[in-house]
């Protein structure tokens, strides 16, 4: 699967985002090494800090199905990942991350998105 195809699935998922406050709909899709795709969306809350980003939603759904770090090949998201999500991308050992930035689909390795990052 190409990153463009994965991003198309992220864009389709964005239609299900729950974003009544910002109206900023985000979708993400993770490609697992076994070929499965798991999607996620941003989920807002009236208590704003409790909101969930699409990337973490997708990864949490994958974890609930038994996926662990190292088992995610790629992640595509319809917006540039926030700092917190970049830490999650590193944790899961994802090979490739694709996201829209200024109208262009960029591809990065997680370490490029968060150099000199925190780890235990």
Active site residues: 55
Stretch of residues binding Zn ion (CB under 5 A), selected from 35-43, 46-54, 96-104, 112-120: 46-54
**Dihedral class, residue 50 (left if φ above 0, else alpha if ψ from -120 to 50, else beta):** alpha
Write out the two tokens for 50. 């409790």
Q: Minimum CB separation from Zn ion for residue 90, in Å?
A: 13
Choose, by CB under 5 A, the member of 75, 79, 85, 89 that binds Zn ion.
Answer: 85
- Which residues, at least 6 apart from 21, have a Cβ–Cβ distance to it below 8 Å? 44, 46, 48
Does 53 engage in binding with Zn ion (CB under 5 A)? yes
The smaller minimum CB distance to Zn ion, of residues 82 and 109, is found at 82
Stretch of residues binding Zn ion (CB under 5 A), selected from 15-23, 58-66, 83-91, 109-117: 83-91
| Interface residue list for Zn ion (CB under 5 A) | 53, 82, 85
């Amino acid at each position: 699967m190409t990153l463009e195809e994965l991003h198309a699935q992220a864009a389709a998922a964005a239609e299900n985002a729950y974003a009544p406050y910002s109206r900023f709909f985000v979708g993400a899709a993770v490609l697992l090494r076994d070929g499965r795709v798991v999607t996620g969306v941003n989920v807002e809350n009236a208590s704003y800090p409790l909101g969930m980003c699409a990337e973490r939603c997708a990864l949490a759904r994958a974890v609930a199905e038994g996926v662990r770090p190292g088992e995610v090949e790629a992640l595509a998201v319809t917006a540039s990942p926030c700092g917190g999500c970049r830490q999650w991308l590193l944790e899961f050992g994802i090979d490739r991350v694709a996201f829209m930035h200024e109208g262009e689909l960029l591809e990065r390795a997680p370490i490029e998105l968060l150099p000199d990052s925190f780890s235990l």
